[in-house]
Amino acid sequence: MKNSVILILVAAAVIYIAFFYREADGVDQVKADMVLKNGNIYTANDAQWIAEAVAVKDDEIIFVGSAADAQDYVGENTNMIDLVGNTVFPGLTDAHVHIKWIGQRELGLNLQGIDDLGETVAKIKKYVEKTPEGEWVVGVGWIEKKWKEGRFLNKDDLDPFSPNHPVVANRAGEHSIVANSKAMEIAGITRDTPDPDGGQILKDENGELTGMFVDNAMALIRDHIPAPSREQNKRSLQAGFDFMSRMGWAQVQQAGGTYNDIDIIKEIHSEGNLKTSIYYAMNMGEEGRKLLDRGPEISEDRMIDIKGIKYFADGALGSRGAALLEPYDDAEGKGLQLIDREEALPVYIEALKKGVQIETHAIGDYANRFVLDLYEEAFNAVPASERAEPDPRWRIEHAQITHPDDQKRYKELDIIAVVEASTVKGDLYFAPDRIGSERLGYAYLWKSLIDQGIRFTAGTDAPVEVGDPRVEFFSLVQRTDFNGFYTDDWHVEEKLSHAQALKTMTLWAAHAAFQDDIRGSIEVGKKADFSVFDQDWMQIEPIEIMDSETVMTIVGGKVTYER
Ligand SMILES: [Zn+2]
């Protein structure tokens, strides 16, 4: 008996030593599926900020270091990617998007970036002309900020060429729409239709409908637009992922959606066509209820994680829907509150118990305070020992106007501020009018939030913005429009360093999705997600970033876009 135990021990030792020596010899060195070298690799890992080469096996990073050492990982079947001096970042994450709407924009009537009212109307007219009579025409993305008329679109712009087409066009920001007379006729809207709660039907000085519908009033029209088929939704979702991958994003974080869409996204993934990973928050209401009942869903390959519920506390600043503590400077009223404490609080409490993350849209200083109050109340109701996720990582989306009294509460409650950096290049034209100089002093805070130790990340809110990582990075480090313009009270000193901007779009975004252990930096053991560009954003002038191009997007070791 004794002898056999000794024999086994000796045999084990021999096997162990043999194994050890072979490892040390490099004979059985694991070979990589992919090695990237000859580029500027920024890791977003403070312990090793720059590397010459990265090796990947399956969907994971197995080596980060010098080009010489990377050679050990090169085998017969290793895909060698010569970066020829290009720049590699950890897979960039857009922490706030609406992926299906991005796809709808790409496939449909896209009015984004047209700096002229006449041209905008002409583009709608052209689209109407090629659409069969009676079918709805839905445009997205118009914005009057740079139009010399400086006014919203109205029904009179649209009616002359659309007597038989219902037409709706969403203003960028998704907080207001314009409808033509045909659309209003179908929806049964007259000058006597009352404003719904939390919404406004805009009228001219004679009390006539202008065609504009703000916040909750949008549903009066939208409810009459036929729902897209599953096939149409699948085309839109695919187009959304294709677009974001082409832009260089490796992950998107969806701010509100449905299980029907998740079902389609899973199908796209099973067909091998999911071009970015996605972190998903459900719409408040019915869909959020389903998540609470089913619990968070963390996928095996971490390509589709479902863990959040998206709430709305107010509207947008541009359409004066943001809920403010004091009235607007350029209009009466304090904006719109879109959240109900009695409805939200029980959900928030249940979410804490079930490990569900809450993210709430809050733009105005009133809305931010209201949400912090609600979060605090929920946290107090559920002690850490009763939470499924001890560190709940709740988020406030936009976090745009935060009263000084409330900033330290972000820190105390450890709430993540998810700002929308790309919007500042447009907002700086109207925000001073809306809220005035004093409130601008605590609006669009970035650097001072980070300096206070507040968790921070950013999203483009595409399709509100294009969804372009160059614009996001440029905005974070520059905080002006593309001509370098900003107003005196704009607080340009709130811009970030390049390193902070990179972490905002990588490591800190991963934290906001409970993925900083597997994503967000180029480190051994993390997912092989990379965004490759032909210019070194960390070195060139910020405006030159806009001339760079995506060379390659790699997600989980697979190339999902190549120039
Ligand atoms: Zn959004």
How far are the Cα atoms of 25, 66, 526, 530 from residue 556, in angstroms, in the given order? 30, 22, 9, 9
Confirm whether 85 is domain-assigned.
no
| Residue 67 Cα to ligand 1 middle (Å) | 41
Confirm whether 295 is domain-assigned.
yes
Confirm whether 438 is domain-assigned.
yes
Quick one: pLDDT at residue 40? 95
| Residue 101 Cα to ligand 1 middle (Å) | 10
Q: Kindly give, in sequence order, each residue whose CB lies less than 8 Å from that of residue 32, ignoring residues fewer than 6 positions away.
A: 55, 56, 57, 62, 63, 73, 74, 75, 78
Same domain flag for 438 and 477: yes
| Euclidean distance between CA atoms 400 and 322, whole angstroms | 10
* Type of residue found at 531: S
| Euclidean distance between CA atoms 301 and 299, whole angstroms | 6
Tokens of 27: 């004979």
| Residue 284 Cα to ligand 1 middle (Å) | 13
| Residue 491 Cα to ligand 1 middle (Å) | 24
| Residue 31 Cα to ligand 1 middle (Å) | 43
| Residue 538 Cα to ligand 1 middle (Å) | 28
| Residue 98 Cα to ligand 1 middle (Å) | 6
Same domain flag for 208 and 286: no
| Residue 279 Cα to ligand 1 middle (Å) | 14
Quick one: pLDDT at residue 464? 87
Same domain flag for 176 and 321: no
Contact yes or no for 143/166 (Cβ under 8 A): no
| Residue 370 Cα to ligand 1 middle (Å) | 19
Same domain flag for 132 and 193: yes
Same domain flag for 285 and 163: no
For the CA atoms of 389, 369, 170, 190, the dihedral, rounded to the nearest 10 degrees, stands at 120
Confirm whether 272 is domain-assigned.
yes
Quick one: pLDDT at residue 1? 47
Look up the pTM and report it. Answer: 0.86
Number of domains in the chain: 2
Confirm whether 306 is domain-assigned.
yes
Confirm whether 6 is domain-assigned.
no
What's the farthest any 2 CA atoms get from each other in the chain? 104
| Residue 175 Cα to ligand 1 middle (Å) | 10
Quick one: pLDDT at residue 319? 85
| Residue 177 Cα to ligand 1 middle (Å) | 15
The pLDDT tens digits along the chain (563 residues) read 456 656 565 565 555 555 554 444 445 789 999 999 999 999 999 999 999 999 999 999 999 999 999 999 999 999 999 999 999 999 999 999 999 999 998 998 999 889 999 999 999 999 999 998 999 999 989 999 889 999 999 999 999 999 999 999 999 877 899 999 999 999 999 999 999 999 999 999 999 999 999 999 999 999 999 999 999 999 999 999 999 999 999 999 999 999 999 999 999 999 999 999 999 999 999 999 999 999 999 999 999 999 999 999 999 998 899 999 999 999 999 999 998 999 999 999 999 999 999 999 999 999 999 999 999 999 999 999 999 999 999 999 999 999 999 999 999 999 999 999 999 999 999 999 999 999 999 999 999 999 999 999 999 999 989 999 999 999 999 999 999 999 989 999 999 999 999 999 999 999 999 999 999 999 999 999 999 999 999 999 999 999 999 999 999 999 999 99
- In the listed set 199, 222, 245, which residue is the last one of a domain according to the structure? 222
| Residue 172 Cα to ligand 1 middle (Å) | 11
| Residue 45 Cα to ligand 1 middle (Å) | 29
| Residue 113 Cα to ligand 1 middle (Å) | 18
Same domain flag for 175 and 204: yes
- In the listed set 222, 254, 286, which residue is the last one of a domain according to the structure? 222
Same domain flag for 213 and 234: no
Tokens of 497: 């360093």
| Euclidean distance between CA atoms 325 and 319, whole angstroms | 17
| Residue 302 Cα to ligand 1 middle (Å) | 23
Same domain flag for 264 and 332: yes
Confirm whether 509 is domain-assigned.
yes
Same domain flag for 240 and 206: no
| Residue 337 Cα to ligand 1 middle (Å) | 16
CATH classification of the domain holding 281: 3.20.20.140
| Residue 394 Cα to ligand 1 middle (Å) | 16
What range defines the domain where residue 322 resides?
A: 93-97+230-523
Quick one: pLDDT at residue 145? 86
Quick one: pLDDT at residue 173? 77
| Euclidean distance between CA atoms 202 and 191, whole angstroms | 10
Same domain flag for 118 and 247: no
CATH classification of the domain holding 202: 3.10.310.70
Quick one: pLDDT at residue 172? 87
- In the listed set 177, 201, 222, which residue is the last one of a domain according to the structure? 222
* DSSP string computed for 321-348: -S--SS--SSSSS---B---HHHHHHHH
Same domain flag for 293 and 343: yes
Same domain flag for 197 and 298: no
CB neighbours of residue 160 within 10 Å: 10
| Residue 465 Cα to ligand 1 middle (Å) | 10
| Residue 461 Cα to ligand 1 middle (Å) | 5
Confirm whether 361 is domain-assigned.
yes
